[in-house]
Amino acid sequence: MTNMAEDLKAEAPFAGEGLAPAPEDRRRTQRDSPRERKKRTSDAVIYGVLVVLVAALMVPFIWMVSSSLKENNQVLTVPIQWIPTEFVWSNYTDIWTRIPMMGYLQNSLYLAVIITCLQVLTGSLAAYGFSKVRFPGRDVLFLAYIGTIAVPWQAYMVPQYIMMQNLGLTNSFNALILLQAFGAFGVFLMRQYYMTIPDELCEAARIDGLSEYGIWARVILPLSKPALASLALLTFVNTWNDYMGPFIYLTSNRLWTVQLGLRSFVGQFDAEYAMIMTGSVISVIPILVIFLVGQRYFIQGIATSGMKG
């Protein structure tokens, strides 16, 4: 799996590949121009196919944005209006008073930030223990971690719920933080990365007199920035998008996350098509921003672990 990550790293999306042909290529171009011309036409065909395909796949997003700028009765029209006849920007100002959107966004942000910090911190610590310190029972313990990744979460959500109920933590953020901040996934992802860091580095630091904690903080952490970024981004997005956790644990409206708030708005006002789309756009924008900033790390994280949280 790590090989894949290396390969993807070499090929960062958005990099302008194919801008300048390599010298050998150019030599071949001069000698073999019909072939080059054929390649150019096939490139044009591929571009055409890709543009049509991506446009088709983006229809739901295009439709979402376009509908969010319409009046309700303009959303489901025959024929479809891809561009609103009149842009109803007021949807974007009204939604804050129609539902407590700001509160929902704050709740989502709060949960996502706390869970991400705890997951990254405890995950990278544990991963160091599992990859760089040798002690009896370590591998058995790690197997237990891996084993639970394979168990569907639905299979143990009821015992978790009973436990939280007995601790009096249902209908509180603490339940979600406790359940999601210590995931085995983060440990697994970080360990995969630490395994690629040569042990000799730690050995050298040990000889220089650094303690194990010093090695973790001053050697391993700086080296594992890409993996930390991957884990942080994946955890943040997963928490932001999580529906089932908040759905099970958060009953009072003031604790709701964006996802719950949006879902409840749809349930209450199912004919408010435009406003529903406005809410959807607002719920997706933070993810879009984070994704555009850190897309390299998302893709590496996925190729490294092949798993989502």
Partner 1 sequence: MTTETLPPVAPAPAPAHSRGNRKQARRNTLIGWTFILPNFLGFLAFTLIPVTAAFALSFMEWTSFTAPRWVGLENFQRMFQSDTFWVALRNTVVYALGHVPLTMALALVLALLLNRKLKGIGFFRVAIFFPYITSLVAVAVVWNMLFSPDNGPINQFLNVIGIAETPGWTSSSDWAMPAVIITSVWRDMGYYMILYLAGLQAIPTELYEAAEVDGASPWQRFWNVTIPSLRPTTFFVVVMLTVSSFKVFDLIVVMTNGGPGRATTVLSQLIYQEGIGEGKFGYSSAISLVLFVIVLTVTVLQFKIQQRRER
User: SS3 letters for 65-100?
Assistant: HHHHCCCHHHCCCCCCCCCCCCCCCHHHHHHHHHCC
Q: Find the binder of partner 1 among 52, 53, 143, 289 (CB under 8 A).
A: 53
Q: Does 160 bind partner 1 (CB under 8 A)?
A: yes
Stretch that binds partner 1, among 29-37, 92-100, 150-158, 221-229 (CB under 8 A): 150-158
Q: What are the distances in angstroms from CA 144 to CA 4, 85, 137, 141?
A: 26, 59, 11, 5
Q: Of 85, 108, 52, which is closest to residue 236 (Cα–Cα)?
A: 108
Stretch that binds partner 1, among 28-36, 86-94, 96-104, 269-277 (CB under 8 A): 269-277
**Site residues (CB under 8 A) for partner 1, limited to 244-263:** 244, 247-248, 258-259, 262-263
Euclidean distance between CA atoms 206 and 218, whole angstroms: 12
Q: Does 231 bind partner 1 (CB under 8 A)?
A: no
Stretch that binds partner 1, among 30-38, 88-96, 98-106, 294-302 (CB under 8 A): 294-302
Stretch that binds partner 1, among 28-36, 51-59, 92-100, 221-229 (CB under 8 A): 51-59
Q: Find the binder of partner 1 among 150, 222, 254, 268 (CB under 8 A).
A: 150
Tokens, residue 177:
């933080």
Q: Does 308 bind partner 1 (CB under 8 A)?
A: yes
Stretch that binds partner 1, among 56-64, 85-93, 95-103, 109-117 (CB under 8 A): 56-64
Q: Find the binder of partner 1 among 23, 34, 159, 222 (CB under 8 A).
A: 159
Euclidean distance between CA atoms 103 and 115, whole angstroms: 18
Q: Is 111 helix (H, G, I), strand (E, B) or coil?
A: helix
Q: Find the binder of partner 1 among 134, 140, 254, 268 (CB under 8 A).
A: 134
Tokens, residue 24:
């050998």
Stretch that binds partner 1, among 26-34, 87-95, 109-117, 298-306 (CB under 8 A): 298-306
Q: Does 179 bind partner 1 (CB under 8 A)?
A: yes
User: SS3 letters for 218-267?
Assistant: HHHHHHCHHHHHHHHHHHHHHHHHCCHHHHHHCCCHHHCCHHHHHHHHHH
Q: Find the binder of partner 1 among 35, 73, 80, 106 (CB under 8 A).
A: 80
Q: Does 109 bind partner 1 (CB under 8 A)?
A: no
**Site residues (CB under 8 A) for partner 1, limited to 10-49:** 11-19, 43, 46-47, 49
Q: Find the binder of partner 1 among 195, 212, 221, 229 (CB under 8 A).
A: 212
Q: Find the binder of partner 1 among 94, 109, 241, 269 (CB under 8 A).
A: 241
Q: Find the binder of partner 1 among 69, 105, 126, 255 (CB under 8 A).
A: 126
Tokens, residue 201:
């580095």
If binding means CB under 8 A, how many residues of this protein chain bind partner 1? 106
Query: DSSP string of 118-166?
Result: HHHHHHHHHHHHHHH---TTHHHHHHHHHHHHHS-GGGTHHHHHHHHHH
Question: What is the CA 67 to chain-centroid distance, rounded?
Answer: 26
**CB-based contact 101:162 (threshold 8 Å):** no
